[in-house]
Amino acid sequence: MGNFTELDMYLFGQATHYDIYKKLGAHPAEIRKKKGILFDVWAPHAAEVYVIGTFNDWNETANPMRRLEPAGIGIFEAFIPKAELGDLYKYLIITPDGRKLYKADPYANYAEVRPGTASRIADIEHFKWTDDKWMDKRKQTEDVYAEPMAIYEVHPGSWMRHPGREDDGYYSYREMAAALTKYVKGMGYSHVELMGISEYPYDGSWGYQVTGYYAPTSRYGTPEDFVYLVNYLHKHGIGVILDWVPAHFPKDAHGLADFDGCPLYEYADPRMGEHPEWGTKIFDYGKSEVKNFLIGSALMWIEHYHIDGLRVDAVASMLYLDYGKKEGQWIANKYGENKNLEAIEFFRHINTLITGRNHGTVMIAEESTAWPMVTGPADKGGLNFTYKWNMGWMHDFLDYMSLDPYFRKNNHHKMTFAMSYNNSEKYILVLSHDEVVHLKKSMWEKMPGDEEDKFRNLKSAYSFMMGHPGKKLLFMGQDFGQLREWSEERELDWYLMEEPRHRQLNEYFRELLHIYRKYPAMYEQDSDWNGFEWINADDADRSIYSFVRKSKNGKNSLLFVCNMTPVARDDYRVGVPKKGTYHLLLNSNEARFGGTEADKSRPASYKAVKSECDGREYSISYPLPPFGVAVFRVM
């Protein structure tokens, strides 16, 4: 009998067992012509381990596990013919001092619906995929950085719900597939980023305190149902990114904390192994088996579930030993510094491995500090992430846009500063869920002025964001002007789409997305000055920004003009990069977008004349309305 071989143990001990999820956990097996379930768990400090579940009426001594040789590795195994797919189970761990711990399986592929905490036996080896076209295209991607990426960030449990049901009213993964795909594809997003997919016990954590790193949450259905969602999105040309949380884990009794009676997945010293502010445990990135646990989880999502990228949460908390800690609560590294050398090496390993084995996939860092070379190559001292969330841009952008327009002239630099460091990393511009909760207000409510001004401000804000270099991410509900802050306890206020202004804002953002996807100038050279040129970055008195986005082949460059005040500039003239005709692609003041001008009432084309403006030999005249945005294609 045996599932876990000496070779498996060796690879596990080297953190190089890349399909560890096929070995540890509960898996259908046939041994000596008997069919059943083979259970394997890592618990080196345990004195004894038993499998308890519905198949043995939770009898604590019915199914003991045997410790495999070499015993020091700490793998326990049991084959149970009576166990079947769908059965609930836990591990009963007897500690050396005689305590009983009832633990869910760290490698379980499925879990009991909360508030239950047991694992559930599942078979994830027989998924039916029909997304070959998408997967082949992903493999053949020449340069991920030259591809468009406009991400719709989604919390599945509160995106849309069934009204009037006695349960939570959640859409299942299968129900969500059609509804979410229809919306996302119609809008023009290229990707969805799903929050809270790895199993977690507490709804209010939004999925950022994980107990099941190998299991899609059962809140919305089975693993097969989740595959259906991913497969459906792929078949309709939409990429899927998951939030992934290797930074910390909760202390729930059934979880990873003190798993076998001692610190196992976490650092043993609480100065290394605990987040005082968060009340959670920190993974031990120096322990091979723990690194393998995390690496195996990431690879499973990417390779087994066809996920296109992982957004790694709370990277800064992993990199800094003193993150969120006071003096005396942390230990310096061997050089006397606050850098977690083991976490740094972990990132270099996993990022190189994931993107090396899976061409076309991405690893995204939510890193909130100025740590250098987050997206730099590992062999040159970088962490080798594909992208980094641009938190600096986000804070400056929101600070500026929330100001009364009268005061914006004194803060003009907040919108231009990000270009001074744009080439230092590969960035994603983010307006995420974190910015519309905890009394931070929705994007609509952040905008100054009366109701009409809020909508006009938001259109100019989104225009600047979409034109600015960097991939894009917007949290659900903000593209139609959700009025209330987001809450995981209710669905988005979709009824607002019945009101003209919200519907018009949604149509405007859709237009921005379609322009973004259509013109390579908008995304091909995000981190290259060859892809961007300021026309006028210094028009602070009028609070107007003008710039050009350029494609690699020099064709179809786009000129953006954004007026950030309610003052009309009827005599406005903007310098242009060259002689020629400039075709008006977008006028934010059209009636279909809630503006005051009849649709298509503006001339379609503007011929540049030899008239110096903004330091340019040629310019065009374009009467600029209050909060007006104009986007031109350079013919």
* Spatial separation of the C-alpha atoms in residues 302 and 295, rounded to whole Å: 11
Q: For residue 137, give the DSSP letter.
A: H
Q: Is 547 helix (H, G, I), strand (E, B) or coil?
A: strand
Residues found in the chain: 635
Our answer to whether residue 425 is catalytic in this structure is no
How many other CB atoms sit within 10 Å of the CB of residue 332?
Answer: 11
Considering only CA atoms, which of 28, 38, 32 is closest in space to residue 63? Answer: 38
Q: Residue type at 119?
A: S
Our answer to whether residue 366 is catalytic in this structure is yes
Tell me whether residue 278 is exposed, middle or buried, using C-beta atoms within 10 angstroms of its C-beta: 0 to 12, 13 to 18, 19 or more: middle
Tell me whether residue 381 is exposed, middle or buried, using C-beta atoms within 10 angstroms of its C-beta: 0 to 12, 13 to 18, 19 or more: exposed
Considering only CA atoms, which of 352, 83, 120, 93 is closest in space to residue 217? Answer: 120
In 400-539, at which residue ranges do the beta strands (DSSP E only) sit?
A: 427-431, 471-475, 532-539
* Spatial separation of the C-alpha atoms in residues 362 and 350, rounded to whole Å: 12
C-alpha distances out from residue 307 to 146, 362, 627, Å = 20, 10, 40
* Spatial separation of the C-alpha atoms in residues 313 and 260, rounded to whole Å: 27
Considering only CA atoms, which of 458, 509, 524, 478 is closest in space to residue 188? Answer: 509
Indicate which residue of 366, 435, 511, 590 is catalytic.
366
Q: Is 162 helix (H, G, I), strand (E, B) or coil?
A: coil
Indicate which residue of 40, 112, 289, 313 is catalytic.
313
Sort strands 198-199 and 212-216 into parallel, antiparallel or unpaired.
Answer: antiparallel
Active site residues: 313, 366
